[in-house]
């Protein structure tokens, strides 16, 4: 989304791209750690699994929330059961599991490391198990956040028996998904949706369209990254505004009528047919208010950040968070069979066209943004209990 001024030049991890035809060797690159939709052909490296996380019996709307990722670790499976049977205890159990991880870490520091190859191999296996456990603790925390907001997560997307072939038969929860964000962040999200849908945003929401599953997966993954970035920058904005340290003349001297192509986050080639974003009407007056406390809008705040700050804010901090973005996308959309033909072209033999409405497409994007926002929150929470970002 161009509102954030981040670009391929300013974001880290730009080794390869979702949004263009990738060269064969690029499929060996690791997943990037910064929000840029040019990176997401690598988000399909994990096996898809299905998990039903049922809400408690007293759920207000009797929804059956779905979390499409099946948990593997004993701790993850325990948290799943707690979430199903005693969701009010989940936070306490998570805290206990994080304390257990810290105790194991402390014990390892006190023991003398062995140079034996077998010992090293055992240590590597344990480290991998710990990383998966940490990922699934964060994931369960995210799912719990959806449940707390009475939001049913979208299940794995697959063929349907619906006569129209539509896959978006999930309940409409747009208002709930919008309500988890601040008003300022919601303004940015509406611009994001406008960029994704173009002029279709104002058309009939029940119009059915066909979209490549892989392309839809790219959009979903990129929207998670956008939600992560948006929550991070919104927290910074809200803090500076509450402290009264926003620039006095902020928003008055800069015009936003024609953003530079070099600072757009989104490459239209990576999206569904997207109309070039028209910034007309987004002038200074849109971000100024008669109430001095509301004079500075988030979009204008983002536009005035320097490239180095944007790069830092757009970078996912942990390997665990990157892995969860990959796994969540993989669990929803499956793993494409990507092949390189003799002439060097890239083929996806198991790609398929999905039928869904623009309302369903909007729901997918909103869920992805909420997932990214919750991912930022829960990564922070886990870090406060069990510091792992600098490992």
Q: Tens digits of per-residue pLDDT, 206-234?
A: 788 888 888 899 899 999 999 999 999 99
Q: Are residues 132 and 320 in contact, defined by beta-carbon separation less than 8 angstroms?
A: no
Count of positions (residues) in the chain = 391
Give 234-243 pLDDT, tens digit per residue: 999 999 888 9
Q: What is the pLDDT of residues 299-349, one digit of tens each?
A: 888 888 889 999 899 999 999 999 999 999 999 998 876 666 666 666 666
Q: What is the pLDDT of residue 163?
A: 67
359 sits in which H/E element: helix 358-385
What digits encode the pLDDT tens for the residues 11-40?
333 333 333 333 333 323 334 555 553 343
- In this prediction, residue 164 has a pLDDT band, given cuts at 50, 70 and 90, of confident
Per-residue confidence at 148, pLDDT binned at 50, 70, 90? very high
Show Cβ contacts of residue 231 under 8 Å, excluding neighbours closer than 6 positions.
Answer: 185, 372, 373, 376, 377
CA distance 279 to 2: 10
Domain ranges of the chain: 2-39+167-381, 51-148
Give the whole-angstrom CA distance, residue 327 versus residue 375: 13
pLDDT in tens, 167-190: 988 889 999 999 999 999 999 999
What pLDDT was estimated at residue 209? 84
pLDDT at 340 (0 to 100): 66
Provide the 10 A C-beta neighbour count for residue 288. 17
Residue 338: what pLDDT? 63
Q: Where are the extended beta strands (E) located within the chain? A: 51-52, 66-67, 208-212, 338-340, 346-348, 353-357
Question: What is the DSSP code (8-state) at residue 20?
Answer: S
Tell me what the mean pLDDT of segment 95-120 comes to.
85
């Amino acid at each position: 989304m161009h509102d954030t001024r981040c670009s391929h030049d300013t974001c880290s991890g730009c080794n390869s791209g979702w949004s263009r035809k990738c060269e064969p060797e690029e499929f060996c690159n690791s997943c990037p750690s910064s929000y840029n939709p040019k990176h997401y052909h690598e988000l399909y490296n994990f096996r898809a699994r299905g998990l039903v996380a049922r809400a408690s019996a007293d759920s207000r709307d009797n929804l059956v929330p779905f979390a499409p990722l099946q948990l593997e670790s004993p701790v993850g499976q325990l948290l799943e059961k707690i979430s199903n049977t005693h969701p009010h205890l989940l936070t306490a159990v998570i805290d206990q599991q994080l304390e257990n991880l810290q105790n194991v870490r402390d014990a390892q520091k006190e023991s003398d490391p062995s140079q034996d190859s077998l010992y090293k191999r055992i240590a590597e296996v344990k480290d991998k198990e710990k990383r998966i456990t940490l990922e699934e603790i964060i994931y369960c925390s995210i799912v719990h956040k959806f449940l707390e907001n009475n939001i049913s997560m979208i299940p794995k997307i697959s063929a349907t028996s619906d006569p129209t072939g539509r896959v978006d038969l999930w309940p409409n929860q747009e208002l709930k998904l919008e309500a988890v964000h601040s008003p300022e962040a919601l303004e940015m999200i509406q611009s994001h949706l406008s960029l994704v849908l173009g002029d279709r945003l104002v058309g009939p929401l029940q119009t059915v369209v066909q979209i490549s599953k892989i392309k839809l997966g790219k959009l979903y993954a990129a929207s998670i990254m956008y939600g992560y970035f948006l929550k991070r920058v919104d927290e910074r904005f809200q803090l500076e505004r509450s402290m009264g340290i926003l620039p006095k003349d902020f928003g008055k001297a800069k015009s936003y009528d024609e953003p530079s192509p070099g600072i757009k986050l989104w490459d239209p080639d990576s999206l569904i047919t997207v109309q070039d974003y028209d910034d007309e009407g987004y002038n200074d007056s849109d971000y100024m208010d008669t109430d001095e406390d509301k004079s500075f809008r988030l979009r204008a705040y983002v536009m005035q950040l320097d490239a180095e700050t944007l790069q830092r804010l757009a970078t996912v901090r942990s390997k665990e968070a990157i892995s969860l973005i990959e796994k969540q996308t993989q669990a929803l959309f499956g793993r494409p069979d990507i092949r390189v033909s003799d002439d060097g072209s890239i083929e996806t033999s198991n790609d398929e066209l999905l039928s869904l409405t623009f309302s369903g497409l909007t729901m997918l994007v909103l869920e992805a943004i909420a997932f990214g926002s919750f991912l930022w929150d829960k990564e922070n929470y886990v870090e406060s209990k069990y510091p792992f970002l600098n490992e």
